[in-house]
Amino acid sequence: MIVARTRAELETALARLPRPLGAVPTMGALHAGHLSLARCARAENASVALTIFVNPTQFLPHEDFERYPRPLAQDLALAEEVGVDLVFAPPVEEVYPPGFATTVSVAGPSQRWEGVCRPGHFTGVATVVTRLLNLLRPERAYFGEKDYQQLQVVRRLVSDLALPVEIVGCPTVRDPDGLALSSRNVYLSPEERQQALALSRALFTAAERVAVGERDARALEALMHQHVTAAGLEVDYLAVVDPVSLEPVSEIRHPARALGAVRVGTVRLIDNVALVPPPP
Ligand code: PAF
């Protein structure tokens, strides 16, 4: 496995890799969710490149940029284990060289939910994803459904800018009790982790109701709200939305998505599930 720190090292490494290339952009602190993206990329491409870059521009000033976990040696070992060919782990100035003055801003699917709670976050994501895709020029890039809104923003961006890459969304990986894997789960105390389970349980309860014929989106949102507040979680949003535009829906006649963001102590968690109504 090659590790590139600079754009020059990246270019040299890319020239040696057989195509097609699958890219897995990450911020490191790799867990089984990231590894499933890498395995998926491994199965569908001749080469796999994984990027590790804690992108400063997608964190708000009060957020956890400084304390975000950066276990690089462990990440490199895990990447090698799942068959990654190239890791690009650049310092900030390789991604944002002096004079860097461009931002990529996506409207549409980035406007609600995380877009409201974390203003500017998706501009940071869209800018770094565009930059990384242009540096790596992969045929495919893999993103987790765990960050469902991010996945839709990236799809919109790639379509609108006609970037020559196929975006592949991969299912959320969960602990056996349902908690969606996230690099930020390490911040949870054992008690907070127990409380946090209410989020995935609420989302899955909504999915079960939809599967047996519930169509009223507002009733489902109220039900999810009850679940998570009973567990002592603070709600940022719990919403039933169109799976592509992420606009709220009122009646579930077609597949939809339930999205949730909650706070437990100082930790903020997001999760989502597909809502699939029964056939008519
Ligand atoms: O999902 C992430 O880890 C990040 O938002 C991404 C896509 C690597 C951009 O920094």
What is the value of pTM for the model shown?
A: 0.98
Instruction: Please identify, among 138, 170, 202, the residue that sits at the C-terminal boundary of a domain.
Output: 170
Q: Is there a single domain that holds both residue 126 and residue 194? A: no
Q: Nearest C-alpha to atom 3 of ligand 1 is from which residue?
A: 26
Instruction: Please identify, among 170, 200, 228, the residue that sits at the C-terminal boundary of a domain.
Output: 170
Q: Is there a single domain that holds both residue 126 and residue 236? A: no
In a domain, 45, yes or no: yes
Q: Is there a single domain that holds both residue 235 and residue 159? A: no
Judge residue 240's burial from the number of C-beta atoms within 10 Å of its C-beta, 0-12 exposed, 13-18 middle, 19 or more buried.
buried
Q: Which residue has the tokens 């999915």?
A: 207
Q: Is there a single domain that holds both residue 139 and residue 263? A: no
Q: Is there a single domain that holds both residue 101 and residue 236? A: no
Quote the CA–CA distance of 206 and 236 in Å, as a whole number.
Answer: 17
Q: Which of 83, 6, 95, 88 is nearest to 56 (CA)?
A: 95
- Cβ–ligand 1 distance for 129 under 6 Å, the answer yes
Predicted local confidence at residue 280, as pLDDT: 85
Q: 129-168 pLDDT, tens per residue?
A: 999 999 999 999 999 999 999 999 999 999 999 999 999 9
Q: How many CA atoms lie less than 13 Å away from 47 in the CB half-sphere?
A: 19
Q: Nearest C-alpha to atom 2 of ligand 1 is from which residue?
A: 26
In a domain, 117, yes or no: yes
What is the CATH number for 194? 3.30.1300.10
Contact (Cβ atoms closer than 8 angstroms) between residue 126 and residue 110: yes
In a domain, 175, yes or no: no
Q: How far is the CA of 63 from the centre of ligand 1 (A)?
A: 15
In a domain, 132, yes or no: yes
Q: Is there a single domain that holds both residue 148 and residue 189? A: no
Sheet containing 21-26, strands listed edge to edge, beginning at the edge strand earlier in sequence:
2-4, 86-88, 47-52, 21-26, 140-144, 166-170
Predicted local confidence at residue 46, as pLDDT: 99
Q: Is there a single domain that holds both residue 230 and residue 113? A: no
Give CA 86 to chain center in angstroms: 21
Closest ligand 1 atom to residue 183 Cα is 3
Closest ligand 1 atom to residue 58 Cα is 10
Instruction: Please identify, among 149, 170, 191, the residue that sits at the C-terminal boundary of a domain.
Output: 170
Ranges of residues in the chain whose predicted pLDDT is under 70? none
Q: How far is the CA of 223 from the centre of ligand 1 (A)?
A: 31
Q: Is there a single domain that holds both residue 55 and residue 143? A: yes
Contact (Cβ atoms closer than 8 angstroms) between residue 58 and residue 110: no
In a domain, 91, yes or no: yes
Q: Is there a single domain that holds both residue 163 and residue 189? A: no
Closest ligand 1 atom to residue 129 Cα is 9
Q: Is there a single domain that holds both residue 137 and residue 266? A: no
In a domain, 135, yes or no: yes
Quote the CA–CA distance of 226 and 22 in Å, as a whole number.
Answer: 42
In a domain, 176, yes or no: no
Which residues have a catalytic role annotated?
Answer: 34
What is the CATH number for 53? 3.40.50.620
- Cβ–ligand 1 distance for 75 under 6 Å, the answer no
Task: Classify residue 108 as left (phi > 0), alpha (psi -120 to 50) or beta.
Answer: left
Q: Is there a single domain that holds both residue 155 and residue 193? A: no
Backbone angles phi, psi at 58, to 5 degrees: -100, 5
Total of domains in the chain: 2
Q: Is there a single domain that holds both residue 96 and residue 38? A: yes
In a domain, 255, yes or no: yes
Show the domain range for 270. Answer: 183-275
